[in-house]
Structure 1
Amino acid sequence: MQETAILADAACDMPRAMMDALGVRTIPFRIRAGDRFVVDTRDEAELPNLYQKYLVGKQDHYAESIPLLERELEDHLLKNVVAGCDRAILLTIASSRSKLYSNATGAVVGTVARSFKLRKDAGRSGLFDLTVIDTGAIGPGQALIVREAARMLADGASAASVVDAVENRLRDAAHMFLIPDELLYMYTRAKLKGENSITWSRYMLGSAFNIRPVIHMHRGVTQAIAKARGNEEGVRRLLSHVEACIRADSLLTPAVAACYAGDIDEVESLPAWQSLKHIAASRNVELMLAPMSLTVALNVGAGAFGLSYLSEAPPPFV
């Protein structure tokens, strides 16, 4: 029986303990800060220190995440993956937000061609098989797709069935919401990337009246869909919306993923989170809460809260 591995890049905001339990392997991002480079591998123990070094109090594009180049991806896969399994499915951050998907697809031929000797030396026959899929999601949305893919494999599904489910069912159902806290940081980052989710007028209005946008991402398209009086009010409304989704039985999979660019104990202590936790437990819905990856946090700022679910017809956000 051929063995299949699920790979996800470091922007996938799944709790590290869950990634380890499901056997999900991490493709790192490189973080550039001035003339220094560090590696983002979703090391949760190190994330608080990384936030302080590269995120908190920074408003000047001090650091940015950079995906591995084609040859670097080949080298990483050859060193860490190809000798230990027969095929891998790499589920990447949305191609509209990173060049990782493009670089990874470019690395497929080289990885497969260079895999033969390594696999032979490891006692495996044939060439390695690598499939790269653009999840069209980031952070917690990517985490939900990765979770379902890994769960399907664990339950005995074929690699082809997993690929079909991701491409034709899961990624179109991924909804991600973001409540930013530092508007200037997110405005400057959005401007740098050519996005309009935070415009100058929204930044000025939000700064003057403590208004925070509720940003929604679906199928790679990002837009502000509502306004809230402050970050806490935005988070409360978002968590209430997810409760409505659960009560309406509108989730495609029984899981909700959330991430926070800060101490996740702050989220755990929120009354709205405790309420969501209660309703989720009563409906057998799994809640996944993780520190936001540095790769994602560098684009949205400290204190940002993200949440995702998979649904084909969710109730409207109110």
Structure 2
Amino acid sequence: MRIGVVADASCDLPPEFYRDHGIDILPVVIRIGEQHLVDVRDPQATLRFYAEQLADKGVDAETQPLPAEAIYTRFFERIVPAYDYVFCITAMASRSPMFENATKASFAILADCKPARAAAGIAGPFALRIVDSKNLFSGAGVLVAEAAKLARAGAHPHDIRRRLDELRENICGYMVPGDLYYIRNRGIKKGERSVGLISYAIGSALDIKPVILCYRGETQPVAKVRNYERAVERMFEHVARQIDHGIDTGHVCVSYGGDPDYIDQLPGYPALAAAAQRNNIEILRSLMSATAAVNVGAGCVAVAYGGELRSFGE
């Protein structure tokens, strides 16, 4: 059986991981004034977006996930002929319409796939599972990477489904924004209220940065730290301790809103890398998507793993 994995463009994984595991991408359209950028996780296009367009805070940028009709078309062009069972994993439904749109499209896809496959000479049924990752960015990456690894290992679709349903309830995603402006004024459009008006004013004046937890479809600040570098360091050190305690995935996802080579220089990252090496955990490092950047801004750092949620700092 040919098992495929599809992820929306906000899911942060390295481009080589997408390529090597044959993961297809559901694009997200970014509207920038009168211009439109289609986010398909092209690293060069994303870096140009960070450098040339994101810096202007006055730009009214918005993200527009694919409508159901476009998802239907993309599946019949690229997915239905290539696979027999597909897992389509999206960003948390409480922050993005992609899950709802993909779910709507799935009914029509499943209704129409049999005659289309028969006409193409493809025998056997087609199955599709739409999965709300209940997380964002690197957190969604943890779930997509798990699905792709299991598919490559030849796991049965029902075993993959059970594993994803279990894992998505236990993905701990953390992020530190580089600029509170985006969390306050743009992220709020997606329901992100981790930084209120008073917190924004005080945080901007005193350089206080929140460490935001993404977990089970919700986001909340778990710490407020003076200075961006110290906040990032505390976040990485916390995840390093979780790795030493024991996590439930063989990988940790890290993404950065800028050149991913800069991750090596981030405070606290050496401790994370050392813990991962001690415990034989793979670190999947990537450039944070342009879609994410519209909502959290440049310089945001995110890290996620699958495992037990413990109090921040433990």
TM range (shorter): over 0.9
What does residue 188 of structure 2 align with?
191
Residue type at the aligned position of 1:203: Y
Within the candidate set 68, 87, 97, 2:85 is matched to 87
1:7 aligns with 2:3: no
Residue type at the aligned position of 1:218: Y
CA distance in 1, matches of 2:284, 2:181: 29
1:268 aligns with 2:264: yes
1:235 aligns with 2:232: yes
Q: CA deviation at 1:315?
A: 5.3
RMSD between aligned residues = 1.6
> Contact between 1:140 and 1:257, CA under 8 Å: does it hold in 2?
yes
What does residue 292 of structure 1 align with?
288
TM-score, normalised relative to structure 1: 0.94
Mapping of residues 196-275 of structure 1, within 5 Å: 196-249=193-246, 251-270=247-266, 272-275=268-271
CA distance in 1, matches of 2:168, 2:241: 21
CA distance in 2, matches of 1:109, 1:193: 26
SS in 2 for 1:176: strand
Residue type at the aligned position of 1:220: G
Q: CA deviation at 1:163?
A: 1.2
Q: CA deviation at 1:142?
A: 0.6
Within the candidate set 306, 309, 312, 2:305 is matched to 309
SS in 2 for 1:253: coil
Provide, for residues 44-91 of structure 1, a one-character-per-residue CA deviation record: whole Å limited to 9, x for no partner: 1321112123312x3235211111111110001111111111121101
What does residue 101 of structure 2 align with?
103
Q: CA deviation at 1:316?
A: 3.4
Where do 4+ consecutive residues of structure 1 move more than 4 Å? none
CA distance in 2, matches of 1:209, 1:271: 20
CA distance in 2, matches of 1:195, 1:144: 21
Within the candidate set 136, 146, 153, 1:138 is matched to 136
Residue type at the aligned position of 1:52: A
Within the candidate set 92, 114, 126, 1:128 is matched to 126
What does residue 180 of structure 1 align with?
177
Change in Cα spacing, 1:48 to 1:281, as seen in structure 2 (3 Å) is same
Provide, for residues 133-188 of structure 1, a one-character-per-residue CA deviation record: whole Å limited to 9, x for no partner: 11111111111111111111222211111111111x10111111110111122211
TM-score, normalised relative to structure 2: 0.95
CA distance in 2, matches of 1:178, 1:295: 15
Change in Cα spacing, 1:240 to 1:54, as seen in structure 2 (3 Å) is same
Within the candidate set 268, 272, 279, 1:283 is matched to 279
Q: CA deviation at 1:230?
A: 1.6
What does residue 21 of structure 1 align with?
20
> Contact between 1:181 and 1:304, CA under 8 Å: does it hold in 2?
yes
> Contact between 2:177 and 2:300, CA under 8 Å: does it hold in 1?
yes
Mapping of residues 28-67 of structure 1, within 5 Å: 28-56=27-55, 58-60=56-58, 62-67=60-65
CA distance in 2, matches of 1:108, 1:196: 31
Q: Which consecutive unaligned segments of at least 5 residues does structure 1 have? A: none
> Contact between 1:13 and 1:291, CA under 8 Å: does it hold in 2?
yes
CA distance in 1, matches of 2:267, 2:233: 9
SS in 1 for 2:63: strand
* Residue correspondences, number: 314
Provide, for residues 81-134 of structure 1, a one-character-per-residue CA deviation record: whole Å limited to 9, x for no partner: 111111211011110011111111100121123333432343202453211111
> Contact between 2:172 and 2:309, CA under 8 Å: does it hold in 1?
no
Q: CA deviation at 1:243?
A: 1.3
> Contact between 2:138 and 2:304, CA under 8 Å: does it hold in 1?
yes
CA distance in 2, matches of 1:149, 1:228: 35
> Contact between 1:112 and 1:127, CA under 8 Å: does it hold in 2?
no
CA distance in 1, matches of 2:192, 2:75: 32
